[in-house]
Amino acid sequence: MEKRVAVMAIVIDDRNAVEKLNSVLHEYSEFIIGRMGLPYKERDISIVSVALDAPQDSISALAGKLGNIEGVSVKTAYSNIA
C-alpha cells in the first residue's frame, strides 16, 4: 500500500487522557517520524504534533483511535507527496 506523509495536531484537554494517548501512539511507533509536545500551562492543555510516514489506512486508524479518547481532539494534514 502507498505511504503518505502527514502531520497530526493533537490537543489534550484532560490530563487523564495522556497515558491512553501515549499507549496508542506507541502502537503506531513504526510510522512516527517525530513528535513534539508542548504543555500550555496557562490554559491547562497540552499540544502535540506528530509527523508520520504511513499508509493512508494507518493514519486514518490512528486519528480515529486518538479522537475516541475522552479529552483529546485531533486534526490531520496530508502532504501532496505520496
Structurally, the chain folds into a number of domains equal to 1
Distance between CA atoms of residues 53 and 17, nearest Å:
24
Angle at 55 between CA 8 and CA 23, to 5 degrees: 55
With a cut of 80, say whether residue 81 has pLDDT above it. no
Sign of the dihedral defined by the CA atoms of residues 47, 21, 8, 33, in that order = positive
pLDDT band at 1 (very low <50, low <70, confident <90, very high): confident
What pLDDT digit, counting tens, does each position of 18-76 carry?
999 999 999 999 999 999 999 999 999 999 999 999 999 999 999 999 999 999 999 99
Question: The CATH number of the domain where 55 resides is what?
Answer: 3.30.70.1150
Domain span including residue 49: 3-78
